[in-house]
Structure formats: structure tokens, C-alpha cells
Amino acid sequence: MKRVLITGAAGFIGSHLSDKFIKEGYHVIGMDNLITGNLANIEHLFKLKEFEFYHHDVSKFVHVPGDLDYILHFASPASPIDYLKMPIQTLKVGSLGTHNLLGLAKSKNARILIASTSEVYGDPLVHPQNEEYWGNVNPIGPRGVYDEAKRFQEAITMAYHNFHGLETRIVRIFNTYGPRMRVEDGRVLPAFFSQALRGEGLTVFGDGSQTRSFCYVDDLVEGIYKLLLSDYHMPVNIGNPVEITIRMFADEILELVDNPKAHIVFKDLPVDDPKQRQPDITKAKQILDWTPKFDRAEGLRLTYEYFKTVVERR
């Protein structure tokens, strides 16, 4: 049985990855310091002999006994509300944490996949964004702690690949949604769902003309799995290229939730908020034979079922 270490395993994407690798017959070692992760996301795995969990901060030295075949580095605060609250931890997990895990991968002769982000493109001047675009990032702006942590993460990963010959993979993740997102996450989808369910105002920043492209988590996980097992070491965009304005998205949520008290409120656009976000997934199609399968209507319905239960419990 092959062994895989997944950092950030109690988080939104990390927990779904843990499920995927268990299903595919791997022994999964989950690791998380739980500053944004939630053990409830993986409690169903604790009874399995194929799963073990380490409560650990990867910014400190990482030791895992025994062989390792793969490492997936998904530990990091990932929403603006988190990385603005925890800027130092965000920078450390992207730099020191990545360095520690690359060293572990080298010592174990394991292949490592690191979770990068569409935020490496910043507020893009190229649309849609392809992997050759270098980005338009403000390194000292409020989002810089996350953007630059991920850009450094890519740089050190490529350095280990080129200098040490380490087997590395880099996924650039675009907006992803689905069950197990945190209600207080701060990103647009959990905010809209929780506000609509409570009959509050859905917060739309600016005039709502900025665009996003939303990928359902099952599609993302399948793309990551295919990338890990591929022979391609350069960055690959994984996301759903169907683009929508935030104002249109708010209207979709209002229609789905159907709470007469819910409405839209407009607030000032945050500093450095990207105006457009759409992945060019040509590489994923050609190299991985991957395209998203879930349309937004189906994905939102499944996510709504989850948020209904979570918000009602609060």
C-alpha cells in the first residue's frame, strides 16, 4: 500500500483529498495544526486503519516515520479573512513549511505536489490567465502575504526540482467551492450562502462587475490526482473556466436559497481585489485529459445542502 502525506488535511480541500486517496487504496497520513482546519472534516476517517493523523505545524521540522511515496502540501490559510488575520503564519507556511516538506520529500525519495493558487497572477492584465503569465502582484499590499508566499513556494519547489532532481508537481488552484467550506471563511460563496440563509444582505464589493470562475471540489480533486500521477513538473491551472460576475452570482444564490429577507448590499471594493479571474485550462486538457464535470447549478445545489445543515446548527 503506497503512503501519502497530506498537509492541511483537516481543511476544505485537504479533507476531500484525504477521502480521494483512501478511496484509491492509499495509506493516508494527515497533518494539520488546526488554525483553520477542522477535525470534523476528517473524523469519519479516524476509524480506518489506512488513515493516521499528526497534529503538527509544518513550519517546524517535519518527521514522518517509514516510507513515503507522495507528499501533497495543502497547509496554509487560504482566504483573505484568514491571511489578513495571520499574515506571519501565512508567510511561514509558504516558505519554511514548503522548505521543510521539500527536504522531507528529498530524504524519502518521494514525489511532492504543492498547492499554488491563481493569486500568483494578482490582479491580472492577461485574460484568461495561462501558466506562462507572470502576474501583476503588489508584494506589499494586504494580499501580498498570501500571493508572495505562494510565488516563493513555486520558486523553491522549482529550485529543488532543478538542483536536486526532486520529483515535483505544482497546481495553481482557481476558486473552488463545495461541502466543508467554513461558514466564516470570508470568501464569496460561504459568505453569500450564510447571509442568504440568515436573511441578511449579501455583501457585493464594488458594483459586482468583477468576475470569478468557480470549480466544484470533486472536479478539483480529480485534477490534482491526475497531475500528481502525471509526468509534468511545470505549473498547471486547475479550475472551471466558466466565468460569472459577482453580481450575477449573488442573484443565483438568492434564487437558490429563496429567503425573502435576503437582499444585496454594496460595499467599497477591497484593495488589490482582482477584477477578473478565469483559468486557461488548455494544459490540463492536453496533458491530464482533465476537464470539470460539474456545472455550477449542480455544484451549488450540493453545496447548499451542506450549508443549510451547518448554518442551522449555529
Mind telling me the catalytic residues? Answer: 146
Q: Which residues pair with 213 in a beta bridge?
A: 243
Q: What are phi and psi of 27, to 5 degrees?
A: -90, 120
Cell numbers that stand for 240 in this block: 472551471
9-to-3, 21, 76, 177, 269 alpha-carbon distances in Å: 14, 12, 11, 16, 32
Q: Coil, strand or helix: which one is 222? A: helix
- Identity (one letter) of the amino acid at 160? Y
- Characterise 137 by phi-psi region: left (phi > 0), alpha (psi -120 to 50), beta (else): beta
- As a whole number of angstroms, the distance between CA 124 and CA 276 comes to 7
- Identity (one letter) of the amino acid at 124? P
Neighbours of 177 (CB within 10 A): 24
- As a whole number of angstroms, the distance between CA 160 and CA 167 comes to 9
- As a whole number of angstroms, the distance between CA 78 and CA 238 comes to 16
Residue closest to 307 by CA, chosen among 253, 242, 255: 253
